[in-house]
């Protein structure tokens, strides 16, 4: 039986179907999780997809952390449940304090949708082990509030502990400190990523298929763990 990976749908989630498709393409079974339902349906891992969770008129993700399903995810993530937060999901992970720092309005004040070059900095997380260290990839980036900020001490710590998962190559598209595109928690089971790997899983619809290894990585991690 293939691994079951949950995808949470908040009322304003937009990329939940895309995340489910990426999980399918990687060979796992996507399981729909509903924001108001405090039940993880025995999933082996969770993806928090992109979107606008509850409209995000306040800070992005600030309300989502109080969703019934999130209390379970926060609890389980602290004891090893693999969680990948993409874009809005990354914002929710920061608001939930599963990851340090915060995502702020892009420095140029515009929403931006581009094919972004990234460098994979850490292959030690459960979600990136199928990459090779230093590998450069291109996947879509699309956000209005994607500027990663944290204190100098936190930034130093993230780099020192090899918890910076990916950095922007070339132009910094949103003013993120030290070009940070994604980070992980200390244990490496929780990863937040501003760009969208789930939009780069088919040559037909994506700029590349460079997003697939994020999803095959978790499959291998789960097989290795079981």
Q: Which residues bind other proteins (CB under 8 A)?
A: 11-12, 14-15, 17-18, 21, 50-52, 54-57, 108, 110-114, 140, 142, 144, 196, 198-199, 201-202, 204-206
Catalytic residue among 35, 95, 121, 196: 196
- Give the C-alpha separation, 96 to 98, whole Å: 5
Is 138 in a helix, a strand, or coil? strand
| Residue closer to other proteins, measured from CB, 87 or 126 | 87
Least gap, CB of 22 to other proteins (angstroms): 8
196 is catalytic: yes
C-beta of 203: minimal distance to other proteins in Å?
9
β-pairing verdict for 164-168 and 112-120 = antiparallel
Q: Is the CB of 129 or the CB of 142 nearer to other proteins?
A: 142
In the complex with other proteins, the residue whose CB is nearer, 16 or 95, is 16
- Nearer of residues 89 and 100 to other proteins, judged by Cβ: 89
Q: Residues 143, 108: contact at Cβ < 8 Å? A: no
Q: What residues are paired with 85 via a beta bridge? A: 48, 192
Catalytic residue list contains 35 = no
Q: Is position 199 annotated as part of the catalytic site?
A: no
User: ∠137-31-70 over CA atoms, to 5°?
Assistant: 85
Nearest C-alpha neighbor of 81 from the set 133, 119, 33: 33
Provide CB contacts within 8 A for 205, sequence distance 6+.
199
Q: Which of 60, 87, 145, 199 is catalytic?
A: 87
What residues are labeled active site?
Answer: 87, 196, 198
């Amino acid at each position: 039986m293939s691994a079951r990976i949950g995808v949470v749908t908040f009322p304003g989630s937009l990329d939940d179907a895309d995340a489910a498709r990426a999980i399918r393409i990687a060979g796992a079974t996507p399981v729909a999780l509903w924001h108001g339902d405090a039940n993880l349906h025995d999933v082996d891992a969770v993806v928090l997809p992109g979107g606008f969770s509850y409209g995000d008129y306040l800070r992005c993700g600030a309300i989502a952390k109080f969703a019934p399903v999130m209390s379970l995810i926060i609890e389980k993530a602290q004891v090893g449940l693999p969680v990948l937060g993409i874009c809005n999901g990354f914002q929710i992970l920061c608001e939930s304090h599963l990851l340090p720092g915060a995502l702020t309005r892009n420095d140029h004040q515009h929403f931006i949708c581009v094919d972004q070059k990234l460098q994979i900095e850490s292959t030690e997380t459960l979600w990136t082990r199928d990459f090779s260290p230093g590998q450069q990839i291109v996947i879509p980036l699309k956000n209005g509030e994607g500027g990663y900020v944290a204190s100098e001490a936190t930034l130093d710590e993230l780099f020192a502990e090899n918890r910076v998962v990916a950095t922007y190559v070339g132009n910094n598209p949103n003013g993120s400190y030290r070009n940070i595109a994604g980070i992980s928690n200390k244990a490496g089971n929780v990863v937040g990523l501003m760009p969208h790997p789930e939009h780069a899983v088919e040559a037909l619809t994506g700029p590349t298929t460079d997003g697939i290894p994020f999803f095959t990585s978790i499959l291998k991690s789960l097989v290795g763990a079981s």
